Copies of this chain bind each other. A is one copy, B any other.
Amino acid sequence: MAGRTAVVLVSGGLDSAVVLAWMQREGFECVALTIDYGQRHRAELDCARRIAEQACVREHLVQRIDLRAVGGSALTGSEPVPKSGASDGIPVTYVPARNTLFLSLALGLAEARGARDIALGINAVDYSGYPDCRPAFLESFAATANLATRAGVQAADRGDLAFRFHAPLLNLSKPQIIRLGGELGVDFARTSSCYDPQPDGSACGQCDSCRIRAAGFAAAGLADPKVC
């Protein structure tokens, strides 16, 4: 099992759906991990379930953790999600230490399942300015992961690294990601990108994430099957 099983962080959004399809094409048997952290955009959790089901993953674990009690973000707190277009700097939708937390959960799950590969949909191009979507962050987390774990210690004894991290979208633009997803057969209708969906789950069409998605489909010359 070890070596060909991968843990994939699946949010329910477009990017991680493409990553899951990409890892499956690479030959990995995938364990999907979704985090229900009290996000405002809970519609993505239903999408994550449908994506994992359609992909016939080996296991889909939904972990709950209450980041509303922590706060510090428009995605988990009471302050509104901006609708006026991208701003300079790190936006208020940044969630403190979110990817560090998500990768920690993925790391523990990977070690417990005998998986040595972990994949996520971070992106350094259209990344909205989040610090934990940068290559330097991921490289540093990978070094930490290999020091933190039993598997890491055992691999180090053999002069090897236990865990490999895959971020296949890291250097792609949104149109490139959408074209890649199209090639991989991703069903975009099952994905949710909106940070502030309507009560019925439909996208607001105005938040940063909706804007980036719409511009991506337009630049890719494709129609988004998930109409806002």
Give me the interface of A with B, judged by CB distance under 8 Å.
61, 63-67, 69-73, 90, 94-101, 103-105, 107-109, 111-113, 131-132, 134, 136-137, 140-141, 143-145, 147-150, 152-153
The minimal Cβ–Cβ distance linking A107 to chain B, given in whole angstroms, is 4
Residues of B within 8 A of A99 (CB): 148
Residues of B within 8 A of A132 (CB): 147-149
Instruction: Indicate how many identical chains form the complex.
Output: 2
Q: Is the CB of B147 within 8 A of A140?
A: yes
Residues of B within 8 A of A94 (CB): 150
Q: Is the CB of A66 within 8 A of B69?
A: no
6 sample A-B contacts, Cβ–Cβ < 8 Å, listed by A number? A71-B112, A96-B112, A100-B107, A104-B104, A140-B144, A143-B144
Given known A107-B96, A108-B67, contact A144–B147 (CB-CB < 8 A) = no
Partner of A131, one of B69, B96, B140, B147: B147
The minimal Cβ–Cβ distance linking A183 to chain B, given in whole angstroms, is 32
In the complex, the chain B residue whose C-beta lies closest to that of A72 is B112
Given known A131-B149, A140-B143, A144-B144, contact A66–B64 (CB-CB < 8 A) = yes
Partner of A96, one of B96, B134, B150: B150
Q: Is the CB of A108 within 8 A of B137?
A: no
Partner of A100, one of B98, B104, B109, B134: B104
Given known A69-B63, A153-B90, contact A101–B98 (CB-CB < 8 A) = no
User: Complex formed: what's the CA distance from A108 to B137 in Å?
Assistant: 15
Q: Is the CB of B153 within 8 A of A70?
A: no
Q: Is the CB of B108 within 8 A of A70?
A: yes
Residues of B within 8 A of A144 (CB): 100, 137, 140-141, 143-144
Q: Is the CB of A109 within 8 A of B147?
A: no
Q: Is the CB of B63 within 8 A of A64?
A: no
Given known A65-B64, A144-B140, contact A97–B149 (CB-CB < 8 A) = yes
